[in-house]
Chain A
Amino acid sequence: GQQVMQIPQYQHVQEGEDFTTYCNSSTTLSNIQWYKQRPGGHPVFLIQLVKSGEVKKQKRLTFQFGEAKKNSSLHITATQTTDVGTYFCAGNGGATNKLIFGTGTLLAVQP
């Protein structure tokens, strides 16, 4: 079945450093979404990418969707302690509106 992998599993950075998580799907996606889950919390929608090669920015966050629509990345510039949490990508194959969540990347930010 479809699998969505993320690397790294865990990243520890000093506040102010940059951070990137990479997402790879075993199949071509209709769209990809990114969610953030704070420790003890529930996933919160961040963004959706639909077009091949699409790049979107939200303040310090930059999201990319690969040309082949099988991979994506999230880059955070100058991390802050509020960025702490697990970042999940979630792929939508297109036939239904269900999502297959990636394995997640846990970001720890040391002040």
Chain B
Amino acid sequence: GAVVSQHPSWVICKSGTSVKIECRSLDFQATTMFWYRQFPKQSLMLMATSNEGSKATYEQGVEKDKFLINHASLTLSTLTVTSAHPEDSSFYICSATRLWGASEQYFGPGTRLTVT
């Protein structure tokens, strides 16, 4: 149990376009979902925390107008990278927690974004 999927697994887009990444909890209801980005050979950097039905909480330095997060249901959160630029190229990973207050996170397989 506790499977999280992401779609797409990889995407290449042109500079200036927007890209939407979906994160789904397949066999449980996720009260909270997290979005991370990871550069090669580096750690995971938390971008934002989203709770179903409420606005996402962004980490310091993350532009909320550039990285739009929607958590419309207990099984789906989306991250939209707007007006993407080459420096936005990265590995984006979502995770989800199963119950209120539980801190164990289940990670999706990640989305490799390349902006040309």
Residues of chain A having any CB pair with chain B under 8 Å: 1, 31, 33, 35, 41-45, 48, 88, 92, 96-104, 106
One digit per residue, 1 when the CB lies within 8 angstroms of any chain A CB and 0 when it does not, for chain B 43-82 equals 1111001000000000010000000000000000000000
Whether the Cβ atoms of B43 and A104 lie closer than 8 Å is yes
Q: A88-B43, A98-B49, A102-B43 in contact; A45/B93 too (CB < 8 A)?
A: no
A-B contact pairs, 10 of them (CB 8 A): A42-B108, A43-B44, A45-B104, A45-B107, A48-B103, A88-B44, A97-B97, A97-B103, A99-B105, A101-B36
Assess whether A45 is in contact with B110, with CB atoms less than 8 Å apart.
no
Residues of B within 8 A of A42 (CB): 93, 107-110
Partner of A44, one of B101, B102, B107: B107
User: What residues on B are CB-neighbors of A96 within 8 Å?
Assistant: 49
Q: Write the nearest CB–CB distance from A109 to chain B, whole angstroms.
A: 18
Partner of B43, one of A31, A33, A92, A101: A101
Output the nearest chain A residue to B34 by Cβ-Cβ distance. A98
Q: Give 13 A-B pairs besides A33-B105, A43-B93, A97-B102 with Cβ atoms closer than 8 angstroms.
A: A42-B107, A43-B44, A44-B107, A45-B104, A45-B105, A48-B103, A88-B43, A97-B32, A99-B46, A101-B44, A101-B46, A102-B43, A104-B43
- Tell me which residues across on chain A come within 8 A of B110, comparing CB atoms: 42
Min CB–CB distance B84 → chain A (angstroms): 22
Binding site for A on B (CB under 8 A): 32, 34, 36, 41-46, 49, 60, 93, 95, 97, 101-110
**Is B102 in contact with A43, judged by CB distance below 8 angstroms?**
no
In the complex, which residue of chain B has the Cβ closest to the Cβ of A104? Answer: B43
A42-B93, A88-B44 known; A33+B103 contact, CB < 8 A: yes
* B115, chain A: closest CB distance, angstroms: 20
Q: State A52–B104 Cα separation when bound (angstroms).
A: 18
Q: How far is the CA of A98 from the CA of B106 in the complex (A)?
A: 12
Known contacts A33-B104, A48-B104; is A98 also within 8 Å of B43 by CB? no
Contact A43 B107, CB 8 Å, known A88-B43, A101-B44, A102-B43: yes
What is the distance, in angstroms, from A23's C-beta to the closest C-beta of chain B? 12
